Amino acid sequence: MKKKFINATIYKHDGASEILVKDGKFSAIGNNVGDADEVIDLQGRFVLPPYVDSHLHLDYYFTGQDDEIKNESGTLFEAIDLWNDYKKGTTKEEMKDRMRQAVKDVASYGTQFIRAQTDCTDPNLTGIKAAIEIRDELKDNITIQVVAFPQNGMFSYNEEGKSGRDLVEEALQLGADCVGGIPHNEWSAEDGNASVKEIVRLAIKYDKLIDVHCDETDDTQARFVEMLNAEAMKQGYGKSTTASHTTSFGSADDSYAFRMMGLFRQSGMNFVAFPTEKLFLQGRQDTYPKRRGLTRVKEFVDNGINIAFGQDSIVDLWYPAGSGNLMNILDNGIHAAQLMREEDFPRNFDLITYNGAKLMQVEDIYGLEEGKPANFIVLDAPNAFEAQRRRVECLASVRNGEYLFMKKPRTYDTELDVTRKTK
């Protein structure tokens, strides 16, 4: 079965207007690509690879709507404390129901790849078990990586005779895809450094990727990203390592940042930033000037360091809003990071597509290339600039050559006419 999509503008394929799909894979991308059993006219719209949410807490989804628990201070640490109590009353089935709805929400905007940060500081590993089952249940349509994330710390947490470190290893044995960590939430810098070393050791032992909540603080002296980068370099593991958040690096001294940029390039370590959530959470102790919590995104881009954007939270204890629409995340991010130069607009979509696929190491099945699975989305715009300028909708999401969804563009019941007399 061959399908041909015509009259398209295709990301990173200048001048090409047609996509040929055979047996669920890209057969050709170009012009006059040959005959097909079915021809779909995209009417000049913009084709992207699917959105990649590089960091999303599916297990926290919509917990912010519970009247029994409210993050009154709006701080990261109150959210952690509240979640610690909340999670004890959850069941695997309740967790799965929320995760399933979360995936449906984000997929409705064009996301097909998710790295799911999942709390494992629970002796029963309820969230991990739920996430693994959801990953396997939805694998044909949505690619999910499960991170064993010790929200309460690897060494600061101990319950029922199990430390956070023990539970991370148990989660990996159950089938989690990545080793997580949160060194800035350990009780001391020494424990934080020890957790970083253990994260890397476990990743190598079980042949897993690494994704660490790193320096999610306004403390300008936080140095766990430096530690993580050093350990990754020593083990030759930089390309398999991701540092998420690194908000303190956005406040760090320029001399220190300059030095670290060189080391980041050397290691090949990846980064994830969260424009909307960080704007909400960080700088809570500041009057003015008020820090906005974003790491040095533009500098990473300019230095060729892989950086992606993520949603992080959807209506939970950390962030009261969020929809999973990565177009919104991109829009906020390029404004906050000042990525609006002429050369930025043609490549900005990398932040929610290719860069995320790179850190997830799914490049063998991702991208608009012949021979790869025919996974792509269609945006209601003629090109990358107009898509960003107008923050357009995703009209279709295609997986293995078949529609996950397709919808019509917005229409008016009454067309706009600025000359029409209204009085």
Domain segments of the chain as ranges: 2-49+368-406, 51-360
Distance (Å, rounded) from C-alpha 65 to C-alpha 67?
6
Distance between CA 282 and CA 217 in Å, rounded?
7
| pLDDT attached to residue 1 | 87
Q: Is 199 in a helix, a strand, or coil? A: helix
The predicted structure's pLDDT at residue 77: 85
The pLDDT of residue 366 is 98
Q: What is the pLDDT of residue 108?
A: 98
Q: Could you please state the CATH topology (level 3) that the domain comprising 51-360 is classified under.
A: TIM Barrel (3.20.20)
Encode the chain (423 residues) as per-residue pLDDT tens digits: 899 999 999 999 999 999 999 999 999 999 999 999 999 999 999 999 999 999 999 999 999 888 778 888 888 889 888 988 888 889 999 999 999 999 999 999 999 999 999 999 999 999 999 999 999 999 999 999 999 999 999 999 999 999 999 999 999 999 999 999 999 999 999 999 999 999 999 999 999 999 999 999 999 999 999 999 999 999 999 999 999 999 999 999 999 999 999 999 999 999 999 999 999 999 999 999 999 999 999 999 999 999 999 999 999 999 999 999 999 999 999 999 999 999 999 999 999 999 999 999 999 999 999 999 999 999 999 999 999 999 999 999 999 999 999 999 999 999 999 999 998
Round to whole Å and give the CA distance between 198 and 181. Answer: 9
Helix axes 164-174, 189-206, angle to 10 degrees: 20
**Distance from the Cα of residue 56 to its chain's centroid:** 6
- 351 phi, psi to nearest 5 deg: -65, -25
Bridge-based pairing state of the strands 376-379 and 38-48:
antiparallel
> Other CB atoms closer than 10 Å to residue 410's CB: what's the count?
9
Superfamily of domain 2-49+368-406: Urease, subunit C, domain 1 (2.30.40.10)
pLDDT of amino acid 396:
98
The CA distance from 169 to 154, in Å, is 10
Return the number of other C-beta atoms located less than 10 Å from residue 346's C-beta.
Answer: 15
Catalytic residue selected from 18, 169, 186, 216? 216
Whether the Cβ atoms of residue 384 and residue 330 lie closer than 8 Å to each other: no
* Secondary structure in 3-state letters for 326-359: HHHHHHHHHHHCCCCCCCCCCCHHHHHCHHHHHH
Q: In DSSP terms, which residues pair with 281 in a beta bridge? A: none
160 among known catalytic residues: no
Task: Please give the Cα distance from 313 to 269 (Å, whole number).
Answer: 23
